């Protein structure tokens, strides 16, 4: 018998999300009895608020066990439209909203739709690793947009626009950003939008999954606020980070009219629909009390202050204050360590899980990402251990 043939060549180009690999290694070490502090994975350490869990249980008891419409139940899409209106002042039709099995699936779908050999796709570097992985999978050329500390960990609009040519099919924007916590300013976004107006052949994927996690009284600027690019714009959002629902696999996206037919077919071919009780939970999350969200945000903000202050006391660490999300992204070049080796050794020897900057792109060299979605006690212990590790 012949062995099964190998998977198609595209699968040799597909990458990984190393934060999840670090998580798997942390679990393995913990199972061996090691005391591990996990600042690696990007998920809230809070439980999903109780009223949201109850809504899912109620939905199951009420018999919502079957398929739902492939684009999501109407009351949930209406809730997303209401939330969008409240947050951005922009009215979106529930027809343009797709309920997705997590935030990630929107980037998967958008990149699959726009990527092919000969096409070019712009993505943030450092940035969420799946952008580049999926771009390479499609055979398109990944074109990194530098996200530099010198630019406050935001894109520079002029530089970004200079990377666009006639082959560019898609540009991925992410603010607040993973892994840097950078938030693009309204001014820079306006400049980018102005430039994109003269490139109507370029679709835009705006990953706004951290839109609630923004500090110092700033308001999130959604690309939805710019009607001139609405026909080019796909917005990625979801419940994972705002309502502490990473394991529910629930997200939404907003699509321009001309891509609706394709995304609907993609959903039908891929996942049929998102699980029904999670969708009812999603309504409760949006329409219910937001006290827990505010409490989480306050807790993240407190931890942000503590982690930045303490990281800056470590020899060789320089950390600017992140403006959003829940990651600190210090520059560790002065320690003399390569970032990935540092992260690996730190986990193996000192039991602290963090992620090396190069896992988010080549411009991440010299940086490490620490998630502060963890208790103050754990953050302080972790920093003590890093200090001891550096002073061995
Ligand atoms: N986009 C960014 C920038 C992220 O950091 C993440 C998760 O870490 C996602 C999307 C994916 O979200 P989800 O867990 O809902 O798939």
Q: What is the pLDDT of residues 308-323, one digit of tens each?
A: 999 999 999 999 999 9
Confidence band for 6, pLDDT divided at 50, 70 and 90: confident
Whether 86 and 222 share a structural domain: yes
Structural domain contains residue 162: yes
Among 234, 255, 287, the domain boundary falls at 287
In a domain? residue 147: yes
> Same domain, yes or no, for 38 and 86?
no
CA dihedral (104, 224, 269, 123) in degrees, to 10, reads: -50
| Any ligand 1 atom below 6 A from CB of 102 | yes
Q: What local confidence, expressed as pLDDT, does residue 104 receive?
A: 97
Are residues 275 and 149 part of one domain? yes
Tell me: the pLDDT tens digits for 318-368? 999 999 999 999 999 999 999 999 999 999 999 999 999 999 999 999 999
Residue 39 lies in a domain: yes
User: Based on the structure, what is the number of domains in the chain?
Assistant: 2
Å from CA of 252 to ligand 1 middle: 12
* pLDDT over 80 at 62, yes or no: yes
Rounded to two decimals, the pTM is: 0.96
Residue whose Cα lies nearest atom 8 of ligand 1: it is 42
Task: Assess whether 321 and 242 both reside in one domain.
Answer: no
CA of 102 to the centre of ligand 1 (A): 8
In a domain? residue 63: yes
Residue 58 is part of a domain; what is its CATH number?
3.40.640.10
Inter-residue contact 121 to 172 (CB < 8 Å) = yes
In this structure, the answer to whether residues 272 and 145 fall within a common structural domain is yes
* Residue 160 beta carbon below 6 angstroms from any ligand 1 atom: no
Per-residue confidence (pLDDT) for residue 23, from 0 to 100: 84
Instruction: For residue range 107-121, list pLDDT tens digits in order.
Output: 999 999 999 999 999
Q: Is 243 in the pocket of ligand 1 (CB under 6 A)?
A: no
The verdict on 224 and 345 lying in the same domain is: no
Residue 255 confidence class, pLDDT cut points 50, 70, 90: very high
Question: Residues 30, 55: one domain?
Answer: no
CA of 100 to the centre of ligand 1 (A): 12
Using the mean position of ligand 1's atoms as its centre, give its distance from the Cα of residue 316 in Å: 30
Label residue 4 by pLDDT band (50, 70, 90): confident
CATH number at residue 311: 3.90.1150.10
The ligand 1 atom at the shortest distance from the C-alpha of residue 239 is 15
Helix (H) or strand (E) holding 138: helix 129-138
Q: CA nearest 173: which of 229, 213, 228, 131?
A: 131
Specify whether 313 is located in the same domain as 226.
Answer: no
Residue finishing a domain among 257, 287, 317: 287
Backbone angles phi, psi at 147, to 5 degrees: -115, 100
335 C-alpha to ligand 1 centroid (Å): 30
Give me the pLDDT at residue 292, please.
97
pLDDT band at 143 (very low <50, low <70, confident <90, very high): very high
Cα separation values, 238 from 31, 130, 255, 282, 363, Å: 32, 16, 14, 9, 27
Q: Is the pLDDT of residue 43 over 90?
A: no
The pLDDT, as a whole number, for residue 59 is: 98
> Looking at the structure, do residues 283 and 301 belong to the same domain, yes or no?
no
Mean confidence (pLDDT) of the chain? 96
Q: Which of 40, 104, 105, 329 to mutate to test the pocket of ligand 1 (most atoms within 8 A of CB)?
A: 104
Predicted confidence at residue 112, as pLDDT, reads 97
What is the radius of gyration, based on Cα positions, of the chain? 21
Do 121 and 194 lie in a common domain? Answer: yes
225 pLDDT band, cuts 50/70/90, is very high
Note the pLDDT tens digit of each residue in 86-99.
Answer: 999 999 999 999 99
By DSSP bridging, strand 120-125 and strand 141-146 are parallel
Q: Which helix (H) or strand (E) holds 205?
A: strand 203-207
* Ligand 1 lined by 238 (C-beta under 6 Å): yes
The whole-number pLDDT of residue 18 equals 79
Q: What is the mean pLDDT of residues 198-215?
A: 97
Q: Which of 108, 178, 205, 250 to mutate to test the pocket of ligand 1 (most atoms within 8 A of CB)?
A: 178
* 180 located within any domain: yes
Domain-ending residue, one of 287, 304, 320: 287
Q: What is the pLDDT of residues 7-25, one digit of tens each?
A: 888 898 988 777 788 888 9
In a domain, 4, yes or no: no
- For tokens 């080796």, what's the residue? 341
* Residue range(s) defining the domain that contains residue 322: 9-47+291-390
The per-residue pLDDT for range 231-250, each reduced to its tens digit, is: 999 999 999 999 999 999 99
Q: Are residues 68 and 215 in the same domain?
A: yes
Residue nearest to atom 15 of ligand 1 (CA): 103
Probe residue for ligand 1, chosen from 44, 106, 172, 240 as the CB with the greatest number of ligand atoms within 8 Å: 240
- Is the pLDDT at 101 greater than 80? The verdict is yes
pLDDT of residue 237: 98
pLDDT confidence tier of residue 147, bands split at 50, 70 and 90: very high
1 assigned to some structural domain: no
Task: Determine, yes or no, domain membership for 2.
Answer: no
Question: Does residue 290 have a pLDDT over 80?
Answer: yes
* Residue 257 and residue 221 in one domain: yes
What is the signed CA dihedral for 175, 168, 200, 110, rounded to 10 degrees?
A: -60
**pLDDT at residue 2 tops 80:** no
pLDDT at 41: 85
Position in ligand 1 atom list of the atom nearest CA 128: 3
């Amino acid at each position: 018998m012949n062995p099964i043939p190998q998977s198609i060549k595209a699968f040799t180009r597909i990458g990984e999300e190393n934060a999840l690999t670090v998580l798997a290694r942390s679990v393995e070490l913990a199972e061996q009895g090691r005391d591990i502090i996990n600042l690696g994975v990007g998920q809230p350490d809070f439980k999903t608020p109780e009223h949201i869990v109850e809504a899912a249980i109620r939905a199951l008891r009420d018999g919502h066990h079957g398929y739902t419409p492939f684009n999501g139940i109407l009351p949930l899409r209406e809730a997303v439209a209401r939330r969008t209106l409240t947050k951005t002042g922009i009215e979106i039709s529930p027809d343009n909203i797709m309920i997705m099995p997590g935030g990630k699936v929107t980037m998967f779908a958008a990149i699959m739709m726009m990527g092919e050999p000969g096409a070019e796709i712009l993505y943030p570097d450092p940035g969420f690793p799946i952008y580049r992985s999926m771009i390479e999978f499609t055979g398109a050329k990944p074109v990194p947009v530098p996200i530099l500390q010198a630019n406050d960990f935001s894109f520079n609009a002029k530089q970004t626009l200079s990377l666009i040519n006639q082959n560019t099919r898609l540009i991925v924007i992410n603010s607040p950003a993973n892994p840097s916590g950078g938030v693009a300013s309204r001014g820079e976004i306006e400049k980018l939008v102005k430039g994109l107006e003269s490139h109507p052949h370029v679709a835009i994927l705006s990953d706004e999954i951290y839109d609630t996690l923004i500090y110092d009284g700033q308001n999130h600027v959604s690309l939805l606020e710019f009607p001139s690019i609405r026909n080019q714009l796909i917005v990625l959002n979801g419940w994972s980070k705002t309502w502490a629902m990473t394991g529910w696999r629930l997200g939404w996206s907003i699509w321009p009219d001309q891509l609706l037919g394709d995304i609907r077919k993609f959903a039908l071919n891929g996942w049929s629909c998102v699980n029904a009780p999670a969708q009812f939970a999603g309504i409760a999350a949006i329409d219910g009390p937001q006290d827990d969200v505010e409490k989480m945000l306050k807790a993240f903000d407190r931890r942000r202050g503590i982690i930045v202050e303490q990281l800056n006391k470590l020899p060789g660490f320089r950390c600017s204050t992140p403006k959003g999300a829940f990651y600190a992204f210090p520059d560790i070049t002065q320690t003399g360590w390569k970032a990935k080796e540092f992260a690996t050794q730190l986990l193996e020897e000192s039991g602290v899980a963090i992620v090396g900057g190069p896992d988010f792109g080549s411009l991440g060299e010299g940086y490490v990402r620490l998630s502060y979605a963890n208790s103050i006690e754990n953050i302080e212990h972790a920093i003590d251990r890093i200090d001891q590790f550096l002073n061995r």
